[in-house]
Amino acid sequence: MDGPSNERIGRATGFGMVAQGDGYWYRPTSVEGIRDVFEAARRSGRKVVIRGSGRSYGDAALLPEGLILDFRRMNNILAWDPETGLLTAEAGVTLEQIWRHTLEDGWWPPVVSGTMFPTLGGALAMNIHGKNAYRKGTIGEHVTEIEVLTPSGRTLILQPDDDAFYEAISSAGLLGVITRATLQMKRVSSGDLRVLPLSCADWEEQFACMERFEGDADYMVGWVDAFAKGKSCGRGLFHAAWYLDEPAERPSSLRMDRQDLPDTILGFFPKSMVWRYLKKLNNRWGMRQINWAKYTASRLLGHGKPHPQSLVAFSFLLDYVPNWQRAYLPGGFIQYQSFVPKEHARRVFAEQFRMQQEARLESFLAVFKRHRPDRFLLSHGVDGYSLALDFKVTERNWPEVRRLAHRMNELVLEAGGRFYLAKDATLRPEDARAYLGDETLTRLRTRKAEWDPEGLLSSAQAERLGLV
């Protein structure tokens, strides 16, 4: 049996574990099953939230008391052409399923997030970016067709020449259900990248690296020590990476066994245990030491020396330690990611660090990336940079963390910057209005009135921000 008969009550949490809520879970296996969920919502007078793998950090994929449309059983790859690299799949397939299906034929997803677990539907609903955002933009730019089921019951096939395509992708599950998509994969002749690590003494050097390699490198990412102050503010480790050309017809680097992440660290220590040890160090003192040690190691080991690394190990570094997020329990954590135009980014990020240090709420992990603008409706793209900051949350510090986020928002908004719904847990309606603008919000509401006139699709985030 499909559809509403799968109902069960259960808790949904965001990846950061701060946002949570109980709802009625449905796990359809067909478009008919999805229609049944909307019917159940009408009957019960409740709303529906769509959910992929729940990898959004905040409350985008949950809705207390709502019907949770869990997409994970609609996860079939429907068509794969190793000649053209076009892949068609149901929206519940994960990025992991996709690369495992295509890599041995010499194709890799054009855009991936720092984890391989998001679903294709979730990736499109947030329009994810990767460490190649400045070159390849967002995942939506590599999609040739999507199928959308509207809550009013229409099935639409949308392509890039249609305005609605740019609205459905990026709309955080608020307009319609993306049921399947066709993705143009990227041809690769090797499963390895050439990775160049460069240790940076301050923000100047971080930005100089990004500027130096943006015309040439296939991927770039910077890690930043948020505890370092004064002249060392912004210090960290920058990586640029290039696809490798391997002359062999089917190089062994494309094989699955060459890509799998190891189960142990140093060959014997089970990775599944690591988060328990991390938890002991997951405080201000411990994280200051870890950040310092990582920076010091970056200066002493490997600086300026390129090395090969598998696509999986480079792309999905955050999957290296399973369940690392549990090290933040019991309170969880939030990720605050802001996107700032290039003229202002250096000043805004340095000031964000100063504010965190003053509040003694330094981010335990800070990641720096280069981006470009795009034409999707709820876009986070800018011609500039993003800084993603992970903040530990406790019952005691939560009001202060939020206050800090709101103060940092002011800097971002004054600089014409943007935010990203996949990473948001603290925006207020006025912040969302300010970065999205009235024109975008009007377009969102006009399309919603057409596709979802009863207002069935929602999320805790959309309600918090007044988006629907």
Ligand X SMILES: Cc1cc2nc3c(=O)[nH]c(=O)nc-3n(C[C@H](O)[C@H](O)[C@H](O)COP(=O)(O)OP(=O)(O)OC[C@H]3O[C@@H](n4cnc5c(N)ncnc54)[C@H](O)[C@@H]3O)c2cc1C
Query: Is the Cβ–Cβ distance between 140 and 376 less than 8 Å?
Result: yes
Report CA-CA distances (Å) from 341 to 216, 250, 418, 432.
21, 42, 9, 17
Residue 113: exposed, middle, or buried by beta-carbon count in 10 A (0-12, 13-18, 19+)?
buried
How far is the C-alpha of 93 from the C-alpha of 99, rounded, in Å? Answer: 11
How far is the C-alpha of 237 from the C-alpha of 198, rounded, in Å? Answer: 6
Task: Give me the least distance between CB of 384 and ligand X, in Å please.
Answer: 15
Task: Pick between residue 185 and residue 468 the one whose CB is nearest to ligand X.
Answer: 468
Integer-rounded Cα Rg, in Å, for the chain is 22
Task: Pick between residue 118 and residue 197 the one whose CB is nearest to ligand X.
Answer: 118
Residue for token pair 């359809």: 28
Structure tokens at 347: 């000043």
Residues whose CB falls within 8 Å of the CB of residue 454, separated by 6 or more in sequence, listed in order: 42, 151, 152
The contact set with ligand X (CB under 6 A) reads 15, 49-56, 60-61, 71, 91, 113-115, 118-119, 121-123, 125-126, 128-130, 172-173, 177-178, 318, 422, 459
Name the residue among 104, 345, 82, 398 with its Cα closest to residue 208. 345
Residue 463 phi/psi, 5-degree rounding, is -75, -40
Task: Pick between residue 128 and residue 164 the one whose CB is nearest to ligand X.
Answer: 128
Residue 89 phi/psi, 5-degree rounding, is -145, 155
Residue 80 phi/psi, 5-degree rounding, is -145, 125
Residue 143 phi/psi, 5-degree rounding, is -105, 135
Structure tokens at 424: 């948001």
Task: Pick between residue 98 and residue 228 the one whose CB is nearest to ligand X.
Answer: 98
Residue 96 phi/psi, 5-degree rounding, is -60, -45
How far is the C-alpha of 214 from the C-alpha of 220, rounded, in Å? Answer: 8
Report CA-CA distances (Å) from 462 to 122, 318, 410, 418.
15, 27, 21, 17
Task: Give me the least distance between CB of 220 and ligand X, in Å please.
Answer: 13
H-assigned helices in 301-428: 311-315, 342-358, 398-414
